[in-house]
Amino acid sequence: MSTQNSTATSSTSSSGVTLDEVLQAAKAVTSRYPESYYDELDRTGGYPHEFIKDAMAAGLGAIMVPAEYGGMGLGVREASVVTEEIHRSGGSGSMLHGQMFMMGILARHGSEEQKRRVLTEVAAGRVRLQSFSVTEPNAGTDTSKITTRATREGNQWVINGQKVWTSRAAHTDMLIVLARTRPPKDPAKPFDGLSCFLVDVRGVDPKQFQLRKIDVIFNHHTYEVFYDNLRVPENALIGEEGKGFKYLLDGLNAERVLITSECIGDGRWFVDKAVKYANERVIFGKQIGANQGVSFPIARGYAHLEAADALRWKAAEMFDRHENCGAEANMAKMLASEASWELANACMQTHGGFGLAREYGIERRFRENRVFQIAPISTNMVLNYISQHVLKMPRSY
Ligand SMILES: Cc1cc2nc3c(=O)[nH]c(=O)nc-3n(C[C@H](O)[C@H](O)[C@H](O)COP(=O)(O)OP(=O)(O)OC[C@H]3O[C@@H](n4cnc5c(N)ncnc54)[C@H](O)[C@@H]3O)c2cc1C
Nearest 5°: the CA angle 388, 373, 23 is 105
Neighbours of 44 (CB within 10 A): 9
Q: Is the pLDDT of residue 52 over 80?
A: yes
Give the length of the chain. Answer: 397
The pLDDT of residue 6? 60
Q: Is the pLDDT of residue 16 over 80?
A: no
Domain boundaries, given as residue ranges, for the chain: 6-127, 131-242, 246-390
| Residue 301 pLDDT class (50, 70, 90 cuts) | very high
pLDDT digits (tens, 9 = 90+) for 120-148: 999 999 999 999 999 999 999 999 999 99
**What are the DSSP calls for 284-325, one per residue?**
TTEEGGGSHHHHHHHHHHHHHHHHHHHHHHHHHHHHHTT---
Homologous superfamily of the 6-127 domain (CATH): Acyl-CoA dehydrogenase/oxidase, N-terminal domain (1.10.540.10)
The pLDDT of residue 13? 57
pTM here?
A: 0.95
Q: What whole-number percentage of the chain has pLDDT above 90?
A: 92
CA distances from 105 to 80, 167, 198, 249, 279 (A): 16, 17, 11, 10, 46
Ligand 1: residues within 6 Å at CB?
A: 132-135, 140-141, 165-167, 216, 220, 222, 371, 374-376, 378, 380-381, 384, 396-397
Q: Is the pLDDT of residue 298 over 50?
A: yes
Taking residues 364-374, report their average pLDDT. Answer: 98
Domain 131-242 has CATH 2.70.98.60: no
In a 3-state reduction of DSSP, which class is residue 87? helix
Q: Is the pLDDT of residue 9 over 50?
A: no
Angle between helices 326-350 and 292-320 (to 10 degrees): 160
Backbone φ and ψ of 163, nearest 5°: -115, 160
Q: Is the pLDDT of residue 250 over 90?
A: no
- The pick from 128, 138, 141 for probing ligand 1's pocket by mutation, whose C-beta has the most ligand atoms within 8 angstroms, reads 141
CATH numeric code, 246-390: 1.20.140.10
Question: Nearest C-alpha to atom 38 of ligand 1 is from which residue?
Answer: 141
| Residue 165 pLDDT class (50, 70, 90 cuts) | very high
Output the CA torsion 191→193→196→199 (10° steps): -130
Task: Answer whether 88's CB lies under 8 Å from 269's CB.
Answer: yes
